Chain A
């Protein structure tokens, strides 16, 4: 509307004087925008140029060639094969994956815990509501770094040495971590994976069909149980048919420590615990706010229709609450990912500790390394954001 108005005005006002481009608001706006872009470009060119000439003047090596150089140091935990002879570029990947791992673990756990706490704080049970309130007020008001230190040293101090490990369901718990038996798939185990993914696809198709049928006929279909059957049952049947192609590697005490099996290192446990507990307190408040935002009339209407409580929550409250919950929840996910960089304080080998720490120091190429590290956090955050925005647009109220 406004542009239309303006162009009408312009036509009537500028026709007589014609010329003098600065009297034309559109051209003037364009001029200033071009000026701003040019100014910014010149600023960044100057900065980059100045940096490069300063670095050269001081004899500091620049460029990304260092990524191919042999790293020569060890890393405590790696999701991909890594040895000291791998390159600095590989240390970047190792650090990146460790950051992604703890972030994902934290996001999943914090969401569940936060959800229960948020609902719990609204509970009619006085004790549950108060416990949740106290939890939230304590943990969101203590700095995260202190919590990380607390959990790290609390975990370390209570656990026994490797030789006095606590044995629990075939796992061994000691100060070096939790050592668990590792299932290793042998020949034919790939078919189990294929069955698993087929099960997921089939469940998705089934859900679409069931929804459509319910829309058309009003008949309900037990999608949940059918889906579980497909996702768990189908791979299990394939597993039995293939003759159980699975070996279990037991951890065994050898020399200083346990060898074999899977290990969950205490640094990861402490960081995961601290990030989860801290972020869950914030998520709980977001969930509570979301639920409270649903008008009471909706609840009353649902019970007037005779919907049971569970269904009221699932079909009436949650879809409306989620619209309020998702945007701030996204921010919490981003916070958690960025907070995971505090790992460096307790020696968890995340991106900041491995790449922006050891690699930076061994190569001395601070600008390149910090630039890459910042780019990673930016990319991770934007990806999370894009996913959550997509999810939000699906949950948003569709106005007709």
Chain B
């Protein structure tokens, strides 16, 4: 099967690769002229191909922003769709440069897989979706229920923890992709579909009868989702980390894709530093001085990416909630650019 051969190929790469990886990812990306970005196999709002095959979503915008910063062109991205099971192996073996695939930051993943998390671009939590006809109002009534889950996610572990903690039983039906999980739920194989809340909304609009399903109020875990890079390449780690920070800072400073050119005339030193007119510019990162300007101009700031993909301007209509900037009572907070 495809996924097995992919993992095998990745193992072979790890086995045979010499020390070619010693060369920095940034240099490799510049030489190649394209950023290889690992995304989902299709999850509305985060990374999803449209009818024409163009990828879009919050995670995709991060890929595009990295390409804008590193190469000056947001369209120079090659998207590699990965299942939850394949993602880390693909990154470890060098098949992708950055993994931007709603991946939860955990201690094991950060310390034992040879990977680094470069930030959090969506604060999420695990929730439950049930058929309205079931008449369930709270997760505490789910004793003995069957759950559709996606394989290889933190969801599998959280679910087990939650039921153990509450002394309840459950039967897990584990599928490979988000699509198959939704199909299993549609076919009535399980009472509950569990996943990160953001995904529940994305899956719900793809169901046969979206109105017949509802999301329960409980959130049972912390799921900080963010981009991941290989450990041991600090330069590339910095590029991805500051790409995300630049998008947040741009929102905080009110710089958008529309007013970026006007903002070049601004006298605010914070704005001038972000746009590369003064301050640290791009030297420390190994990028052009206008790297952050290119991000904002071509992709937009974090707020724009959020609203266009998962927020008010999208079918998902997710509210900013804890993903609002710290200035608005949310958790999104970026270190200053100076």
Contact = CB atoms under 8 A, between A and B. Distances in A.
Interface of A: 47, 50-51, 54-55, 57-61, 72-76, 84-85, 145, 153, 156-157, 161, 175-176, 254-257, 259, 266-267, 341-342, 344-347, 349, 352-353, 356-358, 360-364, 366-367, 370
B156 interface: yes
A355 to B, nearest CB: 11
Contacts of A363: 108, 112
A50 B16 contact: yes
B156 A59 contact: no
A325 to B, nearest CB: 30
B187 A256 contact: no
Contacts of B153: 361
Contact of A73 (B112, B142, B160, B175): B160
Given A357-B85, A357-B151, A358-B151, A76 B10 contact: no
Interface stretch (B30-38, B42-50, B164-172, B318-326): B164-172
B175 A347 contact: yes
B84 A157 contact: no
10 contacts: A58-B114, A61-B113, A74-B159, A76-B173, A153-B183, A259-B144, A347-B180, A347-B184, A361-B153, A370-B7
Contacts of A341: 1, 4
Main secondary structure of the interface of B (DSSP, over half): mixed
A196 to B, nearest CB: 32
B16 A47 contact: yes
B15 interface: yes
Given A74-B172, A353-B151, A366-B10, A54 B156 contact: no
B102 interface: no
B151 A257 contact: no
Contacts of A175: 187-189
B146 A72 contact: no
Contacts of A85: 164
Given A59-B232, A358-B151, A366 B176 contact: no
Contacts of A349: 174
Interface residues of B, number: 55
Contacts of A153: 183, 187
B27 interface: no
B278 interface: no
Given A176-B146, A176-B189, A364 B173 contact: no
Interface of B: 1, 4, 7-8, 10-11, 14-19, 21, 84-85, 88-89, 92, 108-109, 112-114, 142-146, 151-153, 156-157, 159-161, 163-164, 170-176, 180, 183-184, 187-189, 191, 230-232
B39 to A, nearest CB: 17
A73 B156 contact: yes
A61 B112 CA distance: 5
Given A352-B4, A366-B7, A256 B92 contact: no
B152 A362 contact: yes
A156 B188 contact: yes
Nearest to B170: A74
Contacts of A344: 1, 151, 176
A50 B232 CA distance: 18
Given A255-B143, A353-B174, A266 B230 contact: no
Nearest to B187: A156
A75 B172 contact: yes
B145 A256 contact: yes
Nearest to B230: A58
Given A73-B156, A256-B191, A345 B14 contact: no
A361 B151 contact: yes
Q: Which 5 A-B pairs have the closest CB atoms?
A: A361-B152, A60-B114, A58-B114, A364-B113, A156-B187
B187 to A, nearest CB: 4
Given A73-B172, A362-B152, A370-B8, 7 more contacts: A47-B16, A58-B21, A59-B231, A156-B188, A259-B144, A358-B156, A362-B157
Contact of A366 (B11, B143, B146, B157): B11
Interface centre among A76, A256, A344 (most CB of B within 10 A): A256
Contacts of B15: 47, 50-51, 54
A266 B189 contact: yes
B208 to A, nearest CB: 12
A60 B112 contact: yes
Contacts of B21: 54, 57-58
B144 A254 contact: yes
A361 B85 contact: yes
B1 A342 contact: yes
A59 B21 CA distance: 13
Contacts of B92: 58, 60, 364, 366
